[in-house]
A and B are shown apart, each in its own frame.
Chain A
Amino acid sequence: MSDINFLPSRYVELAERSRRRPMNFLAIGITAIALVGVWILSDRSTALAYRPQILQAELDQRASAKAEADALRSEMSSIQAQRVIAREISQPVSAAQVLATVAQITPHAIKLTDLELVAYHPTPRKAETQPHESAHAAAEPEYEPTWLKLTLSGVAPEQADIVALTRAFSEHPLFTQVRLRSSGVVQSEYIEARAFAIDISIDLDREFVPAASQEGASHANP
Chain B
Amino acid sequence: MFGGNNKKSRRPIGVSVTLAGVRLAQVSPTADGYALSATAFEPLPESLSIDDANYGRELGYALSAALKQANFTGKQCVSAMPPESMHCKNIRLPKMPEAELAEAVTWEAKERIVLGEPASIQFYSAGEVRQGDAIRNEVVLLATKCSNIDAHVQGLTQAGLEPTAIDATGAALARISAGLGNTSFTVFAGTKSLEVVIARGGRVLLNKLLPVGEAGLDNADTAELAREIGLCLRYHTVTFRGEKPASILFAGEPVPDALVNAVTQALGIPATSLDEASGFSHHANETLSPWAVAAGLSMRGLAAPAMRGAA
Contacts and interface: CB of A to CB of B under 8 A. Distances in A.
Interface of A: 1-8, 11-12, 15, 19
A7 B202 contact: no
Nearest to B81: A6
Interface of B: 81, 120, 122, 124, 142, 144, 146, 149, 153, 162-168, 170-171, 174-175, 199, 201-204, 304
A7 B166 CA distance: 5
B230 to A, nearest CB: 24
Contact of A1 (B120, B122, B149, B203): B203
Contact of B164 (A1, A2, A7, A8): A7
A4 B202 CA distance: 12
A7 B171 contact: no
B296 to A, nearest CB: 11
Contacts of A12: 164
A73 B81 CA distance: 100
A1 B179 CA distance: 12
Contacts of B81: 6
A93 to B, nearest CB: 115
Contacts of A2: 124, 168, 170-171, 174-175, 199, 202-204
Given A6-B167, A15-B163, 18 more contacts: A1-B201, A1-B203, A1-B304, A2-B170, A2-B175, A2-B204, A4-B168, A5-B122, A5-B165, A6-B120, A6-B166, A7-B163, A7-B165, A7-B166, A8-B153, A15-B162, A15-B164, A19-B162
Contacts of A5: 122, 165-167
B257 to A, nearest CB: 31
Nearest to A15: B162
Nearest to A10: B153
Contacts of B120: 6, 8
Contact of A4 (B124, B149, B163, B164): B124
A15 B12 CA distance: 15
A1, A2, A8, A19 pick with most chain B CB within 10 angstroms: A2
Contacts of A19: 162
A80 B142 CA distance: 113
A6 B149 contact: yes
B124 A11 contact: no
Contacts of B170: 2
A175 B96 CA distance: 143
Contacts of B142: 4
A78 to B, nearest CB: 92
A7 B124 contact: no
A6 B171 CA distance: 12
B122 A6 contact: yes
A166 B175 CA distance: 149
Contacts of A1: 175, 201-203, 304
A211 to B, nearest CB: 128
A7 B300 CA distance: 14
Contact of A6 (B144, B162, B203): B144
A16 B141 CA distance: 29
A3 B174 CA distance: 11
A11 B304 CA distance: 27
A20 B298 CA distance: 23
A1 B146 CA distance: 24
Contacts of B124: 2, 4
